[in-house]
Structures are given as structure tokens and as C-alpha cells.
Chain A
């Protein structure tokens, strides 16, 4: 896998296009009619404050505001449909969301790493010898291979050993803390091939140092 190629691709197109479509039919009344307008995504500690209203859809007297799912710039708005009846699924607007550093890193690592997921909801710990090694030298000192006893899965005070399955490599990232309850399917660790580690570290450093975020893109 060419990690640098992923970064180059992201550099060439450092944004994500989000299409805002009508969830149901109704008369559309646009709150934003111009392209280039900037919108905010949901905010607040619990993302409880909705984003900027783009359009209001009225059906049988019920008005539903359609808000921006993410912050960004409006690149397309179906202004000609303002005040008209639209069908469910019709595109009403498009938002260009510029990627933040965290999002770029997340995408790179998602493609470059092998994620080992939690098979069941419960608490996960590393086996004692692995735990000691990680605490002493960090997770990247740990080499894993198929069938290795890596985790202790604890649920209702009953503990079972969990073996690693997947390609052999170095543990690049640990996504849980001992004692936390992890949902089924959530990643526990991210593993990369040993020879890819320098390239990944280099790319991550470059993203941290060079990636320029739009000031408002983080919203």
C-alpha cells in the first residue's frame, strides 16, 4: 500500500462533497440561495445544536428544517426549486467540506492499517506480558502475528483470552483504554506491516506539519 499516494490524492482533493437531498417530498423553501455561502455543521458538546438551516421542507402543514450535516461551503443550491414541490431524494444542495487534520489522518490510517475489531461488547485488557511491554516501550514496540494471545475479554466478571487474527505487523495505535466498555465492532488496535511503519510515521508527521486547514472548515 502506498501511503504517500493516499496523501497525494487527499492533497489533490482536500475536501469531501456532501449532497443534501430531500428526505421526503414537499414544498422546498430555501434559507440559502447563493452558492459560496458558508454553513456550520452540528455543534455543542453532544452535537446537540443543529447546523445551519439550508432549506425548509413543508408537507401537509408540517415544516421540516434540513440542516447542514457538516460545516463547509455551499457549491450547489437548487435555487430554481425554491417554492416548488420536490420529490424525495432530489438533490437540494451540495456542501464542500474541507478536511481537517484529524479527518485526513483518520482516512489515511483507515486505509493503511489493519483494524482488529472487538468481537463482543465488553471490557478488554491486554494480556499481562503484553501490557507490561506496551507500558514500558509503547505500543509500536509490539509485534503481533496470527493466533497470538493478545487480549483478555472481561464480561460479567468472567474473563476469556482473545487471540489476534490478521496480518502480522506492528501495533500502530491502540483505540481503547483498560477498563472501558467497548462496543462490538469497534476497533481495538490498528496494525501495520513493519516495513510500512516509517512511511506512515512520515506521512503523519507531514500532515501535522503541512496540512493547511481552512479556518472555518473545522466547524
Chain B
């Protein structure tokens, strides 16, 4: 029996190796295969002792070569490791890391989303004679060792909503959250609550959760990972990956593949290498706090020592977070850092936080993400210019404090008093006022009212402007333009100068909006001459040295005259000042990288300091810039944290989508706005048609991402005609902004 069991174990180890080095000519794997087959062929003829001896020899050979193969692992091998059915999964962790647990809201396939697992667990700690049970909310994707219904850890929007619900429960109960990320990416469907919008909601709420959050990353695929990944401490397993996109997805984009085509394994491997997705890469870039080392070729359920290591890591991380924000920490924090994860750890830390500590926790979280990705963009840092900017920002901060915090409070009291006095006076004066009014009517003293009744209204009364201030270059072509909806709506062709000049790119038959340049909006939405651009020196770069990307970036800079896809400026509408961050489709599809994220955060911070409303105008965005890898995807939590801080300070955050807006930005700092609008004919979504088809196997209707569908699903709050953006923005500023516009 023992012999059969040992052979069976060797067979599993061999199959695992063959899967990891699939399609490669690896002499070590081939040697093990040959030796294993030879042993199987003759083992029945051997005596028990001889069989045991030969099996032991082969086991030693397996151990030796596994250690050797460990050193040969490439990023693509690690991708295969984390996706392998033998990889540890969340249930293994719950069984081995926590002392007790109860799964919440699911039993295998009977769950709102079996790929998202929630559990209430506790960790028992003994210090001296006392025993402490420290409760934790455990949330993570569950792959279930290849169980089909788990969908490989690809969570549907309602699974992420469930995760958010229990994060809020944990906050109410004041217990820490441990999240475990085992996902290749989110399930890209738009059904309510919507993949992008739910991830955005999760990020927004996690940005303000007043309990410690520790995230452990095994497979961190893009938005799916971020949905539960905004943590105070991020631990990464040494054989895991954390990436902006799956290597297969990156290869499809890089190879410019059409629907149904598949990338070659070589291209996928090259992309995995170039994206810098491994734990060491992410640690070096500062996107994970520490790496927890796994056994050779990755952790599997039988590696109990690894679970002990993981247990110490999550306990130590939670302790560290709590101690850093606690009042009384003295030597414990120092001792924990010094002996992180080691056996000498013998301190007790209570995991609940008081109100002041909760505020410090949120500030710590904000600062942590604010410091990230600073190396991933360029900025001309002239000392004088930098000093002037810093002084100006500091003065704005001081002014803001004096004007709105210090004086604002007293001003409010004075205003309230004045209102009361005024109301009292109205009561006292109401009778004399009525007498005076009657007297005026008797004497016929209302010349302007009488004139209004007998005079004709002027033909141009109420006409705000004569034509558009900016005319699109598309209007200069002497040609007719067919409407793309002519087939269904019967629209006639329109002459380009009429269409793009007079009609602002709107089909006068069906209202279809043709794409217009972002300059059109700059000139026709905001007051003339009111735009002041800033942070223009923040420049996109190629932080990962992605092959061939420098040239493409240089081309985009030359074509647009901008250094990044984000333009930040202060402008006015009818004299009302507001801060704007604009994502330009002309610059690499409006994709968001480190420079764009940094500019967005600086702009919203400035809006907060100056108490201005903030508009994110999305002329177009294709998503996170994949060539920047995690430097790009980290902008999702970074910017969302900044948005949350702004909104909590009383800011009015408006988002306006135009043309096409997809993926990461919509699933984070754009999608979390309570006021999102779209220009008619815009498309909004999480993933494009081919990705949905490939991931879900579903055919999607042609208008799946259309703004009206987004409105019907509840993702956006309204649709605007391009010609009425200015009026609608003004209306929004007045109706949503409160008395001081930015402040509630």
C-alpha cells in the first residue's frame, strides 16, 4: 500500500511538472518522465525492499531536479503555477491558517457567486495563560482546485458586491479584513451592478474602511484583483503574479489580433516577461509590501510549513497596521518589524481601533498609495518652479483653511443669524409692504410690466452665442458624410462643413454624435480665455522599458503636443470656477498610466484645497496603459483614494464620458462618482466585445456598451447632447454643488 501511495505521489508531482513546463523541451522533466516510466514498468517484479529503495532514489531525484527547475522559472511558468488546479486555494488557507471559520453566503455551487468566498474566521493566540480569539473577515476568490462552477476565480459583479457587503459588515463589527486574491480578472459583463461600476464601488468603499485590511496576492489579474486589493498591507506569494492584464490579453493587444485569433505561446511568454508581473518585480517597484516565499515550484495543499508562514505573515501584518495607528505601541511596533514573520513573535495586539486611530489608519492608507508610482513618470523638476508651485499650493491650503474651516464655521453662524433676523423683519414688514404694493398698483406704477405685455419679444432673445467658437478641422473637407445609423434611421448624407461646423458633429436627422476633437470642448464648453493649464510637465514614460513602446510614446507626444493623455486645468463656466482633468483619446487612446494618474490626483488635491468643483471629462479612454504594467493599474486605487478624500471634504465630483470609455479608469476613479453623465453616442463599459466573447462565450448585441444601455443599467445618471454640455454643466454645478458649489 505504502509503495502504491508513494508512486501515486510521484505521478502527481510529475504531472504537475509537465503542466508547468508544458510545450517546452526540458531535459530535466524528460529525465524524470523516463525514470518514472521505467520504475512503473518494473516495480511489480521487484522485491518490497528493492522497490522501496528505488522509489526513495527516484524521490530524491525528484527533489533535486525540482530545486533545479525552481531556478529556471520564468514569469510565464509562474502564471501556469498559479492557475494550476494543484495550487493552494482559499479553502486550504481557511483550513490551515485560521483556527476556525464559517463560510458565509455559499456552499459550493449554491452561492450568489461561487468564485467569491466570504468567511468569518478567528485566530487563536496564547500569551502567557491567556487565550485570545481574534475574529477576522476573510474575503477572496476561490478557484476550488479546478471546480468548474468556480469560474477560475473570475468574479461576477454581484460576487464583488457580496464582498463589499461583508467588508462593510466587518467595519461595523470593527474586525480586520484579510483578502486573498486568486483571480485572473473580473467576469466582464455589464449586467447590474456592472463589472466596472462594482469594482469602482468596492475601491471607493475600501478607501474609507475604518478597519485594517491585509491583502495576500497569488494571482492578481487587473481589475478583479483591485476589487478586493486596496489594502493597508499587501503581501505577495513568491510564485504569484500581479499584473495589469493577463499575458494572453497583452499578447492579443500587442499582436493586434482579431476576434477568434490566438496569440502564439512565444508572444504570450514575451509579454509576461515584459510586463514585470512577478512578486520580486512588484516588490522592487513598491507595489507590494513584502514577499512570502513558497516551497519549490509553488505552494500546494500539502505544504503545511507554508501555511504556518502565511499565518504568521497575516498576523504580523495586521498587528503592524494596528500598532502604527494606535496610541500605545511603545516597543511592540519595533519588535514586530524587526522580527517580521519569525518565531520570536510573541506580542499581543488588540485589533480594534478607537475613532482617532481609525482616522490615522485612513490617512496612513492614503499616504501609502500616494507615495506609489513616483518613479514611473517624468517631471522637469526645476528648483525654482517646484518651489513656486509648493508655496502656491501651501498658500492655497492656508487660505482654504482660513476661509472655509476657520471663518466658514463662524460665517455660517452669522449667516444663520442674519437669515433669522431677516425672516423676523419680513413678518413685521409684511403688512406695510402689502399696503405699498396696493398703492403702487392703484397709481399704475409698473411701467416695465406693462411694456412686457404689449411689446413683441426679440427674435434672438435668449440666444447665448453666435455659432461655435471652435470649428473642427473635419469641417474643412468638401465632402458628404453618411450617418452610421442611416441604415436603420434613413438619415441623409450631410455636408461636412454643415455637420462638423454648424451642427457640432451631431446628425440632424437622428442625433447621432460623430466624434469631435477635445479642442472643441475646451473652446465651446468653458468661458473664453478662462483655461489655465497646470502640471503640463508631468510626462508619460516607459517605466518597464516595454519593447517598442518608447517610439509609440514619442509619436503620441509629437502628434498631440502633450506629454501625457491627461490635461489638467482650471476653467470657468459662466464665471463659476472649476477644476478639470481631461483624458484625451488622441494620446494613446486616452489610456491611463502613472503620469495621468499623478496629474489626476494633483488636480483633485488642488480642487480640494481651493474648494472647487471637479470635473473629469473623458474625451476617451481605452483603459489602463498595459505597457506600464502595475505602474498603470495601481492608479486605480491611488486615484480612487484621492477622489474619496475630495468628496469627503465636501467636493462635487462630476464625470462626463464622451466617445469610448472602458476598463480600469471606469472601474475605479471615474465609476465611483455619484454624478456620471455621458455625451450621446458614447460607449461605456468594462471590456470590449472580443474580450467578452472570449471570456464568457456570449454574443453581445451591437449596442451593448451604448450610453443609453448604461443609463438603463443604472451605471450613469444622464445623457447630454453635445451642444448642451455647457448649459447642463452649469445646471449641475448649480443644483448639485450647494451654496459654495464645491461644498455640501
Footprint of B on A, CB under 8 Å? 24, 44-46, 48, 50, 59-64
Contact = CB atoms under 8 A, between A and B. Distances in A.
B493 interface: yes
B482 A64 contact: yes
A62 B480 contact: yes
Contacts of B3: none
Interface in B424-470: none
B702 A24 contact: no
B495 interface: yes
Nearest to B492: A24
B493 A59 contact: yes
B291 to A, nearest CB: 47
Secondary structure at chain B's binding surface: helix, strand, loop or mixed? loop
B15 interface: no
22 contacts: A24-B493, A45-B699, A45-B701, A46-B701, A46-B702, A48-B701, A48-B702, A50-B487, A59-B493, A60-B493, A61-B477, A61-B478, A61-B479, A61-B496, A62-B479, A62-B480, A62-B481, A62-B482, A62-B493, A63-B482, A64-B482, A64-B486
A44 B704 CA distance: 15
Determine the main DSSP class of A at the interface with B: loop
Contacts of A24: 493
A63 B480 CA distance: 9
Nearest to B494: A62
A65 to B, nearest CB: 10
A203 B696 CA distance: 43
Interface in B473-521: 477-482, 486-487, 493, 495-496
Interface residues of B, number: 14
Contacts of B702: 46, 48
Contacts of B486: 64
A116 B482 CA distance: 40
B701 A60 contact: no
Contact of A59 (B480, B496, B699): B480
Contacts of B481: 62
A187 to B, nearest CB: 24
Contacts of A59: 480, 493
Interface string B681-710: 000000000000000000101100000000
Looking at B477, B482, B699, the one whose CB has the most chain A CB atoms below 10 A away is B482
Q: State the 3 A-B residue pairs at the shortest beta-carbon distance, nearest first.
A: A61-B479, A60-B480, A62-B480
Interface string B544-572: 00000000000000000000000000000
A62 B479 CA distance: 6
A61 B699 contact: no
A45 B703 CA distance: 13
A58 B26 CA distance: 60
Contacts of B479: 60-62
Nearest to A59: B480
Nearest to B486: A64
Nearest to B495: A60
Given A64-B486, A64-B493, 9 more contacts: A45-B699, A46-B701, A59-B480, A60-B478, A60-B493, A61-B478, A61-B479, A61-B480, A64-B482
A63 B486 CA distance: 13
Nearest to A24: B493
Contacts of A62: 479-482, 493
Contacts of B480: 59-62
Contacts of B495: 60
Contacts of B701: 45-46, 48
Contacts of B493: 24, 59-60, 62, 64
A102 B496 CA distance: 45
A63 B496 CA distance: 13
A64 B496 CA distance: 15
Nearest to B490: A23
Nearest to A61: B479
B212 to A, nearest CB: 48
Nearest to A48: B702
Interface string B219-253: 00000000000000000000000000000000000
Contacts of B478: 60-61
B481 to A, nearest CB: 6
B703 to A, nearest CB: 9
A127 B477 CA distance: 63
Contacts of B496: 61
A50 B487 CA distance: 10
A59 B487 CA distance: 17
A61 B477 CA distance: 9
Contacts of B482: 62-64
B508 to A, nearest CB: 15
A45 B697 CA distance: 14
**Residue of A24, A46, A50, A61 most packed against chain B (CB within 10 A):** A61
Contacts of A50: 487
Contacts of A46: 701-702
A44 B693 CA distance: 13
A48 B702 CA distance: 7
Contacts of A44: 699
A64 B494 CA distance: 13
A61 B481 CA distance: 8
A204 to B, nearest CB: 32
A50 B486 CA distance: 13
A149 to B, nearest CB: 37
B701 to A, nearest CB: 5
B700 to A, nearest CB: 9
A213 B493 CA distance: 39
